[in-house]
A and B are shown apart, each in its own frame.
Chain A
């Protein structure tokens, strides 16, 4: 059974940098794309970006200038870094598993979510 467990700071100030990490337990880590998706309170879902074990990344153009997704294959973990935060970045951030050997796949497994609040 695949499980994703995520953690990171939940309260940040404007202009600061968000940093979240997601650990993958069970199943295969290699071959899959690992995604970050966010959801502002009471709103819909926005895909942020993804990475695979070969460090190939894809980002949402709307966030690309501020986003970095990285991976640590020795620990089966991947991370999200989002810079220059504003209140509009306040959201629940989810990690999720994407497609296998392809960027074109649904998100079958999800982390529990981390609420990140940006406020002065």
Chain B
């Protein structure tokens, strides 16, 4: 199985500040024939199911605010929140769907300082 390791495990940031969450894969998730990175990011608020934020590493899901962006390729990826809002308090997960079984990172908890 592909192992995804997120860093940090948690962080507290002031409102309006930038947040960066890293996701490192034990194997490449880049399909060299399509140049697509098979990586997604999810946001999970307390008591709710995960919500898809980004797929193909950097494509925003419909309705996701522009302050969320994704970057990276192959084995190293970053989710960036450009200006933290109160409603962004949540746990964020990366997921690879490159090879079976799909796997998730351990999660990164984002709080307001």
Chain A residues with a Cβ under 8 A of chain B: 44-47, 58-62, 94, 96, 99, 103-108, 110-113
Contact = CB atoms under 8 A, between A and B. Distances in A.
B97 A106 contact: yes
A interface secondary structure, majority? loop
Interface residues of B, number: 21
Most buried by A among B42, B102, B107: B102
A94 B106 CA distance: 17
B49 interface: yes
Contacts of A113: 49
Contact of A108 (B38, B52, B106): B52
Contacts of B40: 106-107
Interface of B: 38, 40, 42, 49-52, 55, 61, 93, 95, 97-98, 100-107
Q: Which 6 residue pairs spanning A and B have beta carbons closest together? A: A110-B49, A106-B40, A45-B104, A106-B55, A60-B101, A47-B102
A99 B51 CA distance: 15
Given A106-B55, A106-B95, A46 B104 contact: yes
Most buried by A among B49, B50, B51, B103: B49
Most buried by B among A45, A59, A107: A45
Contact of B103 (A47, A105, A106, A111): A47
A44 B4 CA distance: 12
A96 B50 CA distance: 10
B105 A44 contact: yes
Contacts of A110: 49-51
Contacts of A59: 101
Contact of A94 (B49, B52, B93, B107): B49
A44 B93 contact: yes
Given A104-B38, A106-B55, A108-B61, A47 B49 contact: no
